[in-house]
Amino acid sequence: MSDLHEMTALAQAGAVARGELSPVELADHYLGRIAELDGELGAYLTVTAELARSQARRAEREAVAARRDGTRLSVLHGVPVPVKDLAQVEDVRCTWGSAVFADHVSDADDHVVTRLREAGTVMLGKTNTAEFGLPCYTENRLGPPTRHPLSPGHSPGGSSGGAAAAVAAGLAPLAHGTDAGGSVRIPSSVCGLVGLKPSRGRISNGPLRPDVTGLSVHGALARTVADAAALVDVMAGRMPGDVYTAPPHPDGVTLLEHARRDPRPLRCVVLRDPMVPDAVLHPDCAAALDSATAALAALGHEVEAVEMPPDPDIVAAFTRVWSVEAASYEVEPGREGELMPFTAWLRRTAAGVSAREYATALSTFRGLGQMLTDLLFAAYDVILSPALAEPPALIGELRNDEDPAAEFARMTAFMPYTTVYNLTGMPSITVPLTRNAEGLPIGVLLGGRYADEALLVSLAAQLHRPGTTSTTSTTH
């Protein structure tokens, strides 16, 4: 079947469960597309063909046994799911997007990978990422940059740019990603995908590099809200030693089930202007927001605009914590020169961050979460904003190797909406609704109360339903 990659992940899983599709056939189909197309795209850093075929054969045996015994399989059983190269897979290369770790091979699985194995998914390989997941593009020193499937001169965003490019180009049906400042949602918006960042603690961050700040979470990139919800469902769950754990969804119902339900009429607040000083909303992104606002109103939801003033203290706090995250990677003496200039600058910045400043920065994040809870979520159910302040960037446009501080400011202006949900631990999801005059996707962002992903996926699925909005912006 030449059109297997046009099927949703859930449709693929259903065909596997009914015996209409072999996981081996499915894995071979994607491995063939990767071999044919990824040389130009650069979505994968490592392709694990042998592991994928072994897992696919096992999934096939389990599917046969399930049909014979009348038992139920995982909702994504037999479906290929690549893993971003910031998560570790036993006996597979893990570079963290850095030339310094080009030859590193992991000796254990991260918990999220354990969950994916238990769900019967098939790992095609490790997707490309920015170095240590720090910038919002996918360019590193391991090879050529990852390219946008619709426009090779453009970046697919980052840091989960390889995952987004793989899904958008049909080199995977959906993909795992990580998100510490927008790294799932930025490339999803850029590539016309759904990007679901769950609440802090929904998916285990252990055991190998647990994030004590709570900024980073595992998430899902997919072509439909239901697929993204299903992937978060199979990756979710508490594990021993977790620093954070999220409470169950309402009534114990899965996210996938919520994605198949329309929400009640909701009160939605629109945050149009960036909360970052000097960030400017591009007309293409404003048009996408207007389209989503009109669509929500047409669906029967109450929509009201509110202004939130920019806060430079939040940017300063994030800079301090982000620099310490960059410095947390243990680089052998003498190899610092192999790091990207932006990474090296952040690590130097971290040397000037005192323990008191670091603690104060984390307190600033907690205060922001309390403010949103008290001021916005006391009156509204969902926050709607642009996903990004600008359309997709050209490759190299966001980098500034000569002045990494200017690069940081440039990226902050490009992505001023996503990071707030990492600072607060709240969930958010990008919904692809429009394209600009160049044909490039422009997404919008929905945010919700802590642990209320269920409401977000219900609304996102309703908003993403075919025919809800226009697919083309009229701006130039």
E-strand ranges in 141-185 read 174-179
Tokens of residue 238, six digits: 């508490």
Q: Which of 22, 74, 84, 199 is catalytic?
A: 84
DSSP conformation letters of 422-448 = HHH---EEEEEEEE-TTS-EEEEEEEE
> For 42-195, where are the alpha helices, taking DSSP H only?
49-69, 111-118, 161-168, 185-191
Q: Which residues contact 359 (CB under 8 A, 6 or more apart)?
A: none
Half-sphere exposure of 458 (CA within 13 A, CB side): 21
126 is catalytic: no
CA dihedral 375, 381, 384, 387 (to 10 degrees): 90
Tokens of residue 423, six digits: 């600072």
CA dihedral 357, 362, 365, 366 (to 10 degrees): -130
The single residue listed with the structure tokens 């048009």 is 287
84 is catalytic: yes
Q: Give yes or no for a contact between 313 and 363, defined as CB atoms under 8 angstroms apart.
A: no
Tokens of residue 367, six digits: 């205060």
Q: Nearest CA to 10 among 257, 215, 278, 177?
A: 257
Q: Which residues contact 473 (CB under 8 A, 6 or more apart)?
A: 284, 287, 288, 291, 434, 435, 436, 437, 442
Q: What angle do CA 192, 413, 273 make, to 5 degrees?
A: 80
Q: Which residues contact 92 (CB under 8 A, 6 or more apart)?
A: 46, 48, 51, 105, 106, 126
Q: Which of 155, 159, 160, 188 is catalytic?
A: 159
DSSP designation for 71: P
Q: Which residues contact 191 (CB under 8 A, 6 or more apart)?
A: 148, 149, 150, 156, 157, 164, 165, 167, 168, 441
Q: Give yes or no for a contact between 222 and 5, defined as CB atoms under 8 angstroms apart.
A: no
Q: Which of 74, 183, 458, 473 is catalytic?
A: 183
Q: Among all residues, which ones are annotated catalytic?
A: 84, 159, 183
